[in-house]
Amino acid sequence: DPAQRRLRELAALSKRLQQVHPNVLAKVLKERTVYQNEEIVVINKPYGLPVHGGPGIKNCIADVLPILAKMLEKSMKTEPLHLCHRLDKETTGVMVLARSKEVADRIRLLFKTRQVEKTYWAISLGNPDPTEGTVEIPIVEKEVRSHQSHYKMTLAPNYRLSPEDGRMVKVRKQRNAEMAVTRYRLLAHSAACSLLELQPITGVKHQIRVHLAYGLGCPILGDHKYSHWSKLAPQKLPEITLKRLKLVQSKARYLPLHLHAHRLSLPLGQRIDLVCKPPFFFQKTLKKLELDFTKD
């Protein structure tokens, strides 16, 4: 089936990006440069490419920054580009690189002090209720003990419901839990799915994914990690969603994570608005699910 073949090809392409020669990867990133000035270079990060290296990772963005800098400047003496923030391997979109360590430090401080406005788009399963609001629940990493033990980020609420009278009772804060705040707004909904606009106020690991899946009960389409708590298994999709995507449930594991860093507003002297189009697979899914938010 063409739809299933395209998904397999996307998985294969992201795998290939991690195995190509560093010069080839740097060239790919150069072609994905959406903005540059004397201080920064902005790329539209591709799907499936890790930012940092690690076990089993051959290629990552950090490794090719010296080559990318030379390609952009056409000079052998160019200083390597510097990472200013991170995006998950499966997340696409706006990524800022600095031309010097001083600029990188300045931008990291802007992120740390929450002066950078970040806007993400996500396609989720289900509709959030209410359709607009803020999720403010701390997050902590925990071990999931199952037939295949693994670690996941999860909610660590400061309150619980009293079984006696149903009132909210404050509980002691969990050690290692980090404060996490995410604003969300529904842009469109169709075929048991939603297009959401998200603004993470804090920057906790997997924050958007956890807040949507466990806080709102609307996991991101293709988020096989946070669609279940106790197991690692492909996401279960509603019949109408499978029908629109022309997928069978057994092939749902090929669905990529539909989370895109759409816009970043950076106060560097004057405020710079950086916008990246969603990848082709994301746009295709919007069309198939008829998530047309331009009409709203």
Catalytic residue numbers?
A: 88
CA 50 → CA 37, 53, 89, distances in Å?
25, 7, 4
List the Cα angle 42/60/26 in 5-degree steps: 55
CB contact at 8 A, 140 and 156: yes
Alpha-carbon span 87 to 208, nearest angstrom: 12
Q: Give CA–CA dist 279/241, Å, rounded.
A: 20
Q: Which amino acid belongs to residue 14?
A: S
Dist. CA 42–CA 96, nearest whole Å: 5
Distance from chain centroid for Cα 277? 14
The amino acid sitting at 200 is P
